[in-house]
Amino acid sequence: MLFFVALAAFLVHTSELWLAVPLGVVAFSEVSLGGIFILSPCSASMWGMLVIGFMAVRGWGNVFGHYLAVGVAYIGFVGAFSTVYLSTIFGTDVNFFADWYMTANLISHSLLLLGCLYIVMADFIKIKVSNVFPVFLLGAVYHMIGGINILFFWAVGTDFVAVNPMYIFAPFGGVWLFYGYVLWAVATVFTLIVAIIYEFAAVKPQDRFYKNWTKDYWLKQ
């Protein structure tokens, strides 16, 4: 199921480039490249979810897959939830359903939110305090990708500040919470809070993070 949700999210998110522009519904712009070039934490998480879904189909269980699943589950959830429920761009445009970009983004981010919840509910990952490490590392990778995109657009003579990879130069929707690095920090803190609450609620005292200093607990996901 995860693969099909991830594929649907990816196709809808990139539909402006492969469908709307060729059909002449919208004109091509830098925004059209958002999904392909991984210009935001959410588009990066959609790519990551697609990789996880493909791995789940082929057989699950390696270290890379588990670290990726943990990072995508938390960062993707925070990014998608913030975009759908906290962003001011949705629900304020009277031509919402006539706007391809707005509609495609609402659908794709809703699917990302669903996929992130499925990763947790289907036991792809185990909730624990050590989840903060994959989340922090994946956030760093996302910003490295943003840096690579900045260099690419600079090299081809495109205004990389206007493209704004990973919302490094300006926040999404003009809200400070939606700077990429702020979302990264929020996702890391959110992970820690959720994991602590979960461990106190569902894990035996002797197995909780403050008593479990084994390599398996802190390094394995």
Give the pLDDT confidence of 163-186 residue by residue, as tens digits: 888 999 998 877 788 899 999 999
Please report which confidence band the pLDDT of residue 71 belongs to, taking 50, 70 and 90 as the band edges.
Answer: very high
Q: Tell me the CA distances in angstroms from 149 to 94, 159, 218, one per residue in order.
A: 33, 11, 32
Element (H, E) at 193: helix 180-202
Residue 134, pLDDT score: 96
Range of the domain at 55: 2-219
Helix (H, G, I), strand (E, B) or coil at 103: helix
Residue type, 24: G
* Closest CA relative to residue 59, chosen from 3, 101, 17, 135: 3
99 has pLDDT over 90: no
* Closest CA relative to residue 196, chosen from 215, 210, 216: 210
Residue 84, pLDDT score: 85
Bin 165: left if φ > 0, else alpha if -120 < ψ < 50, else beta: beta
List pLDDT tens digits, range 18-60.
Answer: 776 667 666 666 666 666 778 899 999 999 999 999 998 777 6
Give ∠ CA 115-116-122 in degrees, rounded to 5. 80
Residue 91, pLDDT score: 56
List pLDDT tens digits, range 104-126.
Answer: 888 999 999 999 999 999 989 99
Question: Which DSSP letter does residue 179 get?
Answer: S
Residue type, 47: W
Q: What is the C-alpha radius of gyration for the chain, rounded to an integer number of angstroms?
A: 18
Percent of the chain with pLDDT over 70: 87
Residue 160, pLDDT score: 84
Please report which confidence band the pLDDT of residue 101 belongs to, taking 50, 70 and 90 as the band edges.
Answer: confident
More confident site: 163 or 191: 191
Residue 4, pLDDT score: 94
What predicted TM-score, i.e. pTM, was given to this entire model?
Answer: 0.91
Weakest-pLDDT range from 8-12, 44-48, 95-99: 95-99
Residue 8, pLDDT score: 96
First to last CA, the chain: 21
**Total structural domains within the chain:** 1
Question: Which DSSP letter does residue 130 get?
Answer: G
